[in-house]
Amino acid sequence: GDSVTQMEGPVTLSEEAFLTINCTYTATGYPSLFWYVQYPGEGLQLLLKATKADDKGSNKGFEATYRKETTSFHLEKGSVQVSDSAVYFCALSQIQGAQKLVFGQGTRLTINP
């Protein structure tokens, strides 16, 4: 079945550092790919998404590019802030907008001032 693998956490960085969180997937066909963020005590919020190969999703300074050849969707940000501290989830969906999301295990990110 479909699966998503994220880099092991937790990740701790200093403010203004460059961030990469790796995400690879195994799936048939051409799934849609997502990054969700969960701030402490809150639910999940969609951070960005991409629906086809070579698409780049971006939001709030975060970017991720759908790489079909490497089955990857790595999350990057050029300069992180303390407010970016959260848990980040990579996910895929086989049918656009449908009800079934497959999540990675999540990566906890802590940014120190």
Partner 1 sequence: NAGVTQTPKFQVLKTGQSMTLQCAQDMNHEYMSWYRQDPGMGLRLIHYSVGAGITDQGEVPNGYNVSRSTTEDFPLRLLSAAPSQTSVYFCASSYIRTGGSYGYTFGSGTRLTVV
Check residue 45 for interaction with partner 1 (CB under 8 A): yes
CB of 61 to partner 1, least distance (A): 21
Q: How far apart are CA 48 and CA 113, in angstroms?
A: 25
Which 3 state secondary structure label does DSSP give 68? coil
Among 79, 105, 110, 112, binds partner 1 (CB under 8 A): 105
CB of 79 to partner 1, least distance (A): 27
Task: At 107, list the tokens.
Answer: 């990566």
Among 51, 59, 65, 94, binds partner 1 (CB under 8 A): 51
Q: How far apart are CA 6 and CA 94, in angstroms?
A: 18
CB of 95 to partner 1, least distance (A): 8
| Closer CB to partner 1, 56 or 108, in the complex | 108
Check residue 31 for interaction with partner 1 (CB under 8 A): no
106: left (phi over 0), alpha (psi -120 to 50) or beta: left
Q: What is the DSSP string of 4-19?
A: EEE--S-EEEETT--E
Residue numbers of the site for partner 1 (CB under 8 A)? 4, 36, 42-46, 51, 89, 91, 95-106
